[in-house]
Amino acid sequence: MRYASYRLNGADRVGLIEEDRIYDLMELIRLEGEFELPAEDPRPRTMLDVLRLGPELWSHARGLVERAERHRTSDPDRWEVLKAQGSVLLLQELEARGGRLVAPIPRPAKNLVCLGRNYRAHAVERGEEVPEVPVFFTKAPTCVIGPGEPIRYPEATRMLDYEGELAVVIGVGGRQIAKEHALDHVFGYTILNDVTARDLQRRHGQWFRGKSLDTFGPMGPWIVPAAEVPDPQALRIRTWVNGELRQDASTSQMVFSVAETIAWLSDGITLEPGDILSTGTPAGVGESGGDATLLHPGDVVRIEVEGIGTLENRVE
């Protein structure tokens, strides 16, 4: 099962994806669930609501999908009710009805925390030292866009670049989290394209502006729960531009693992449900090949992380 955010008839909803079917979480709770939300808690209308409501809701959501799947195979009358009430759609039906997936967390509550030079080969290609401690920076939440949305080439830069990355979504908050327990705090994993204006990155001496321009945070296409990713350090990550393979690596090549990153970041900083940590990019960014391999209008960037999915966006 995968968690997604989608837009249909002008409204954003939380979807639970099973194979080619997407379930509306709120509708499933209304039609199928006995789950009682405390009066003071938010309804799970957004992914941030889902994350803040915590493991009890996550377990209930999985149970609802399993029950609906049983209806599909053994109770056709009830299945037809779910379809008629809009509780479930085929993904291709969603597109046919003018709907689409959006970023899993369309507007994060805080800046996205990212890692610089977290793959040795990427540090080498940039002519920089492999860091001895994590190099943290952030991207503004306003830069986030979803799968299929255009990356806008702004007038502020002439050196637009891509960076395919595995991103981590925190589900259980905490502070002073030990590396041995860090993965227990992960809700799931998604993909981030850390789009970067290389000239701004260098000009300003720090990375925030060059990383945070509008549309510089393509994310998606969904969140895969942590339980379905047994080892986040054993995933192949690849990036193509216009069908040409540019990045091909394994998350095993990270300098600092997901668990180590969480331990470092939470040492004095409280992590909260919905925080997004992007774990750095491997070698093969456009800057390494000069202007010909930087991004230009019309280019299509496709990032695939094994076990997570594929994120594709066009530059305009």
Q: What is the tens place of the pLDDT at every residue in 194-208?
A: 999 999 999 998 899
| Burial per residue of 203-232, b for 16 or more beta-carbon CB atoms within 10 angstroms, e otherwise | eeeebebbbbbebbbbbbbbbbbbeebeeb
Separation of alpha carbons 75 and 12, rounded Å: 29
70 and 116 housed in the same domain: no
Range of the domain at 211: 112-314
Write down the pLDDT at residue 36: 66
pLDDT at 41: 61
Q: Are residues 92 and 126 part of one domain? A: no
Whether 207 maps to a domain, the answer reads yes
Q: What is the pLDDT of residue 42?
A: 62
Task: Tell me if 269 is assigned to some domain.
Answer: yes
- Identify whether residues 39 and 126 lie together within a single domain: no
CATH number at residue 53: 2.30.30.230
Q: Flag residues of the chain having pLDDT under 50.
A: none
Q: Are residues 172 and 228 in the same domain?
A: yes
Q: Say which CATH number the domain at 241 has.
A: 3.90.850.10
Instruction: Say what the pLDDT of residue 68 is.
Output: 95
Last residue of a domain, one of 101, 128, 146: 101
Would 260 be classed as within a structural domain?
Answer: yes
Do 260 and 298 share a structural domain? yes
The residue from 101, 129, 150 where one domain ends is 101
Q: Which of 50, 70, 101 is the last residue of a domain?
A: 101
Looking at the fold, whether 201 and 274 belong to one and the same domain comes out as: yes
Shared domain for 171 and 65, answered yes or no, is no
**Overall number of domains in the chain:** 2
Shared domain for 122 and 182, answered yes or no, is yes
Residues 282 and 193 in one domain: yes
* 106, part of any domain: no
127 and 91 both lie in a single domain:
no
Residues 249 and 286 in one domain: yes
- Per the confidence metrics, is the pTM higher than 0.85? yes
Average pLDDT, the chain: 95
Residue 278 belongs to some domain of the structure: yes
| Rounded Cα distance, 53 and 26, in Å | 13
Give the C-alpha separation, 187 to 242, whole Å: 32
